[in-house]
A and B are shown apart, each in its own frame.
Chain A
């Protein structure tokens, strides 16, 4: 696995490059992100891969139809979603890095402490929202409560109220855990995880930067 700082830079570039380079660069960034995932997690990102292939097929189908209204709305939507896939794959690698290692990486970047906490908590909590929604939906089903578009206000309350209650409880628990680990201590902090940039980090980040430069120059 690479350094967490490298993954953060690659995540940033994975988001920006498709919007600068267009569709052709996705044919480079998508397999590159899959390769990074395979080397880091030692498994294949099947869900993201299938999603990417489906979005690509949908994009070409929409453009083949050449109906102005459909192309403008669904074409741009599918293109935007497709552009997110490399960032999603890189983000899913970042989520699996231990929080301590991630925080230590951000500390080495000399970011303000509150920004570090916000980035770490935000990135780690993102997949949890999906899990919470899934749990809430199952719990509502077990209780015989119907979440449907026919009763929008009730359905909204059924989903959002438990989600917010759980989120507030998680925030209290997380704050207590972070504070008990000495986040508010002003002195220099050590870490169990030793972070050192290796040759592989420079190659990986360098490749992403090279793609961005090629996009800006107009190769893609």
Chain B
């Protein structure tokens, strides 16, 4: 990747992060499912940025860089546990785009965004299910009490909740990325075609 690709990825990743944060502001409306709401509503808005970024910089590593920059911003703002989740999401997104020509295939881009969003959105389940309520209370004693962790565990770590979460994340990510595809074809693709014809 060249310097101009790094700059483009960084700027668009920052825009994507800001849009996902704006979407996440609506998450408290979902109450105990706010973990999924943060990511789903964020994916609705940032799917456009992701699609356009992949089309503008169709190079190996772009999806991972997008999530890596989001992870860096999370570390700088203090949400350091999300860093690991975002890096895993980025790796999954990049794995979906391994086959040659994937970056220009909208189905592959859509799949990579949906899978990475679902993995990112399940961070609440991972934290509560795998780490365990007691360890969370001891790790973050000032943030959670035993009662609040018990309530959140009951809502998050049950098979029905996990299925609902996955469906909600997948649907929101799909809507977000399809919106992105529509916007790209309407406002950006024509310009790219004219540019390639001029250079052609």
Q: Which residues of A contact B (CB under 8 A)?
A: 11-12, 14-16, 18-19, 21-24, 68-69, 71-74, 76-77, 79, 83-84, 87, 91, 114, 117-119, 121-122, 125-126, 129-130, 153, 156-157, 160-161, 163-165, 167-168, 170-172, 174-175, 178-179, 183-184, 220
Given A72-B148, A73-B34, A184-B3: A167 touches B15 (CB 8 Å cut-off) = yes
In chain B, residues 1-30, which have Cβ atoms closer than 8 Å to a Cβ of chain A?
Answer: 1, 3-4, 6-15, 18-19, 28
Other-chain residue from A14, A19, A74, A164 in contact with B15 (beta carbon distance below 8 A):
A164
Nearest first, the 6 closest Cβ-Cβ pairs linking A and B are A22-B142, A15-B78, A175-B4, A171-B8, A73-B28, A121-B10
A91 partner residues in chain B, CB cutoff 8 A = 76
CB-CB under 8 A from A12, the residues of chain B are: 75-76
| B173 close to chain A: CB less than 8 A | no
Which residues from chain A contact B52 at a C-beta distance below 8 Å? 164
The residues of B that contact A164 with a CB separation of less than 8 Å are 12, 15, 48-49, 52, 188
B141 at interface by CB-CB < 8 Å = yes
Q: Is B183 an interface residue (CB 8 A)?
A: yes
Give the A-binding residues of B (Cβ under 8 A): 1, 3-4, 6-15, 18-19, 28, 31-32, 34, 45, 48-49, 52, 56, 65, 69, 72-73, 75-80, 140-143, 148, 151-152, 179, 183, 187-188
Can you name 18 extra interface pairs (CB under 8 A) apart from A76-B143, A125-B11, A161-B187? A12-B75, A73-B31, A77-B34, A84-B77, A87-B77, A117-B7, A121-B6, A122-B10, A122-B13, A122-B72, A126-B18, A156-B48, A157-B187, A164-B12, A171-B4, A175-B8, A179-B4, A220-B142
Q: Which one of B7, B19, B179 contacts A121 once the chains associate, using CB atoms below 8 Å?
A: B7
Residues of chain B with a CB closer than 8 A to A76's CB:
143
B137 to chain A, nearest CB (A): 12
User: Is the beta-carbon distance between A83 and B12 smaller than 8 angstroms?
Assistant: no
A153 to B180, CA, bound (A): 11
